[in-house]
A and B are shown apart, each in its own frame.
Chain A
Amino acid sequence: MSSVPDNLLLPFGDAPPPAPLPVAPAADGVQAAEIRRLWLCLHLPELPLEVMAGGAGRTPRVVVDPARQRPVVAFCNAVAVRQGVQPGMSVNAALALSPGLELHTREPALEQAALERLASGALRFTPQLVLEADALLLEIAASLPLFGGAAALRTAAVAEVEAQGHRVLAAVAPTARAALWLARLHHAVLLTGPAHLPGVLGRLPVAGLGWPAEVQQALRRLGVTRLGECMRLPRDGLARRIGSACLQELDEALGRAPESRPAWRQPSHWQETLELPVETHDTGLVLVALRRLLDRLVAWLRVRQAAVTALRLGLQHRSSPATRLRIGLLQPGTDAAHLAGLAAIHLAAIRLPAPVSAVALEAEETVAATAAAAALPGLGYDRGERIAGLVERLRLRLGLHAVHGVWPAPGHRPEHAWRVLPVPPPGRQAAGEAPARASRPLWLLAQPAALDVRAGTPLLGGPLALERGPERIETGWWDGDDVRRDYYVARDRRGVRAWVFRDCRSGGWYLHGLFG
């Protein structure tokens, strides 16, 4: 292409295709030692439209910038462009061209939230990341060997952003300012060496750099339309005409002046809300939304190398206070599917008082994930998490005390010789107490059951034959639950073996266990 069209301000629709500027040769062949810094700019040209409910949309819609005095179209989608609407047009003119036009006010907060979400995901490419109003800047020089070069890294990053439903333009350049300019002007170039920077930047139109209108006018009066012509002007004269701020930007872009941009830090607390497209009573739809939130939560957890132990779920209603649920986990969780399953069980247990309009999710408690938990697939490291998940599912339906383990306890009274474990400890434990010396039944009755007696013989569906005993157990005087019993192994007519005792004080017979 011989020249870059000047109407590049028009960011949408049938705008000129990304211009294949002469790219510096040896794009990936540059040795890492030569590269000091390399910036990948991910520019989201349609972000203000994409954050609106329904995305960029299939009907003509525009975003109006309320900051301006006269309402002016700031962004318009491809459908609107096809009907003749252009950015910069007054709203009235746009409505005349396209009567069905949807007008939206710009939502900077939503845009910021969307950018931060993308930034969270992009942290896997580099820890050094800058947020611009319409773009992400990633410093990728140190990450190149990990991702197989700048081109591969750019492809991966673009795919990740596109998977979130955004249109993205990506450029790579040795300075952040140059990458940003190139991406904003639709030049999807990959420049890894600074040598070609002046040549590539020189072709950019001055009108597209976002410089103040009076600066642009001053340059136009000089007959300067491209940055290259600007660079050839004497420096002091240029400084007088365009001001030091713009000159500073130019120096930064060319790598002549250092750039200072505040690095973005991931927030230490995670909370997000997702508006549902329609209000619904259907927990299935709520779960779909929740699943999207959980996927984002898991991405956030992964970057922070954390696991969640408690979630707070808020189901917002239009006209009544939100339904709030707390989902606690027995073991730190990082698996979206498991978390979704738990949430589904919690949701199934409640009745929604009103249709749900939005779903809010908050990571209430997080802990550092142990590196081993995810690192060794196939070695059964997640078994602890899975058994905890099973216990959680069973408890939700059957009650908190319905699931437990059993463990021997030091005690001579049979009812004190075992205890309930809330959850069995994972893995093997020290053997603890020595095996019981005397014979003990496999099943213990929760409460000893009184037996009828005939002619001094206890009855259990017929007279019991006492096979072995007595074994005297007399203890517990210190805690008021003292017992004095003679235990026998007995056998009934059918051959069932029972563990019975005679209370030495009352003389009554009791069934206490079955040998199974």
Chain B
Amino acid sequence: MPIREEIEQLLRDPRIWQARSGAAPVRAAVATGWPPLDRVLGGGWPSGQLTELLADGCGAGETRLLLPALARLLRPAAPAAAASGGWGVLVAPPHVPYAPAWRSAGVDLARLLVVHARRDLDVLWAMEQALRSQTCAAAVGWSQAASYGALRRLQLAAEESGAWVVLFRPACERVRRSPASLRIELVRHPHDERLGLHVMRRRGGAAVTTSVDVGAPA
């Protein structure tokens, strides 16, 4: 068999991904609510995977970025929610989630659990518990200095539960290695309403930079 044919045959193997073919569709995805971002991520936020968002401070629009997906997942009628109980947890949020605003954004507060944890260890433990309980469709946590091992456990718990798992970490953590299958660094554009997303790692795609117009507060 000529070698060229052999290579062709090898390339048809579905396990082989070719960089020039663009982002491969993520197996199970939650639409982000921002179409440009959906295209970059191959359909949406990957469910059953750990998504790592690197950002310093709070208020740059990172919460608005997540809200459409959160609102969709926390509805009991959604099929993804039915399969996993349709609850959402916020673990160690930086401030109090202000109920009137979250409701206006369409989040079902009857399915949102707020968990306060001081130590970083407890943050990841609480997220893991939430995922292993098979009740949560979404888990969002804020961590300061998570170890690789702890992140790995979280990634495994995410895979088992099939839930959408987001962990916020300080931007300085980008130099550390991470098992997350999606890593995005968030950069605020200071003069307009865009939130810059530097996608450092995504499944089936090279690093890319994009931006989402999260809009001014209504």
| Interface status of A476 (Cβ within 8 A of chain B) | no
**A interface SS class:** mixed
Question: When the two chains form their complex, are residues B110 and A380 in contact, meaning their CB atoms are under 8 A apart?
Answer: no
| Option from A389, A405, A418, A428 in Cβ contact (under 8 Å) with B98 | A418
CA distance A433 to B85 in the complex (A): 26
Which residue of chain B lies nearest to A390 when distances are taken between CB atoms in the complex?
B133
Question: When the two chains form their complex, are residues B98 and A407 in contact, meaning their CB atoms are under 8 A apart?
Answer: no
Question: When the two chains form their complex, are residues B98 and A513 in contact, meaning their CB atoms are under 8 A apart?
Answer: yes
Known: A444-B95, A494-B190, A513-B95. 13 other contacts (CB 8 A): A391-B113, A393-B129, A404-B114, A419-B99, A436-B101, A443-B58, A443-B93, A446-B96, A495-B190, A496-B60, A514-B58, A514-B95, A516-B61
Which residue of chain A lies nearest to B122 when distances are taken between CB atoms in the complex?
A398
| Option from B64, B97, B191 in Cβ contact (under 8 Å) with A495 | B191
| Option from B63, B117, B134, B136 in Cβ contact (under 8 Å) with A442 | B63
CA distance A329 to B204 in the complex (A): 45
Give B26 Cβ to nearest chain A Cβ, in Å. Answer: 25
B-contact 0/1 string along A408-424, CB 8 Å cutoff = 11000010011100001
| Interface status of B21 (Cβ within 8 A of chain A) | no
Question: When the two chains form their complex, are residues A498 and B95 in contact, meaning their CB atoms are under 8 A apart?
Answer: no
Question: When the two chains form their complex, are residues B93 and A435 in contact, meaning their CB atoms are under 8 A apart?
Answer: no
| Option from A389, A403, A409, A429 in Cβ contact (under 8 Å) with B114 | A403
Question: When the two chains form their complex, are residues B129 and A425 in contact, meaning their CB atoms are under 8 A apart?
Answer: no
Question: When the two chains form their complex, are residues A516 and B115 in contact, meaning their CB atoms are under 8 A apart?
Answer: no
Centre residue among B60, B94, B99, B136 by max chain A CB count within 10 A: B99
| Interface status of A387 (Cβ within 8 A of chain B) | yes
A-contact 0/1 string along B35-79, CB 8 Å cutoff = 000000000000000000000011111111001000000001000
Given contacts A398-B117, A439-B218, A489-B217, contact A407 B99 (CB under 8 A): yes
Q: Which residues of B contact A440 (CB under 8 A)?
A: 98, 100-101, 104
Question: When the two chains form their complex, are residues B190 and A493 in contact, meaning their CB atoms are under 8 A apart?
Answer: yes
Q: Which residues of A contact B111 (CB under 8 A)?
A: 424
Could you list 23 examples of A-B contacts with CB < 8 Å? Answer: A386-B135, A387-B87, A394-B115, A397-B122, A397-B125, A402-B115, A402-B116, A403-B114, A405-B110, A424-B109, A428-B110, A436-B101, A436-B104, A440-B98, A442-B98, A443-B63, A467-B216, A493-B190, A494-B60, A496-B58, A514-B95, A516-B58, A516-B63
Give A445 Cβ to nearest chain B Cβ, in Å. Answer: 6
Which residue of chain A lies nearest to B129 when distances are taken between CB atoms in the complex?
A393
Question: When the two chains form their complex, are residues A495 and B188 in contact, meaning their CB atoms are under 8 A apart?
Answer: yes
| Interface status of A234 (Cβ within 8 A of chain B) | no
A-B pairs with lowest CB-CB distance, top 8: A516-B63, A418-B99, A443-B95, A514-B59, A496-B59, A390-B133, A444-B98, A440-B101
Q: Which residues of A contact B114 (CB under 8 A)?
A: 403-406
Question: When the two chains form their complex, are residues B108 and A428 in contact, meaning their CB atoms are under 8 A apart?
Answer: yes
CA distance A278 to B23 in the complex (A): 61
Question: When the two chains form their complex, are residues B190 and A428 in contact, meaning their CB atoms are under 8 A apart?
Answer: no
CA distance A402 to B125 in the complex (A): 14
Question: When the two chains form their complex, are residues B122 and A439 in contact, meaning their CB atoms are under 8 A apart?
Answer: no
Q: Which residues of B contact A419 (CB under 8 A)?
A: 99
A-contact 0/1 string along B185-218, CB 8 Å cutoff = 0001111000000000000000000000000111
| Option from B109, B189, B217 in Cβ contact (under 8 Å) with A405 | B109
Using a CB-CB cutoff of 8 Å, which residues 371-397 of chain A contact chain B? Answer: 380, 383, 386-387, 389-391, 393-394, 397
| Interface status of A223 (Cβ within 8 A of chain B) | no
Which residue of chain A lies nearest to B63 when distances are taken between CB atoms in the complex?
A516
| Interface status of B103 (Cβ within 8 A of chain A) | yes
| Interface status of B105 (Cβ within 8 A of chain A) | yes
Question: When the two chains form their complex, are residues B189 and A441 in contact, meaning their CB atoms are under 8 A apart?
Answer: no
Q: Which residues of A contact B188 (CB under 8 A)?
A: 494-496
Q: Which residues of A contact B112 (CB under 8 A)?
A: 405-406, 424
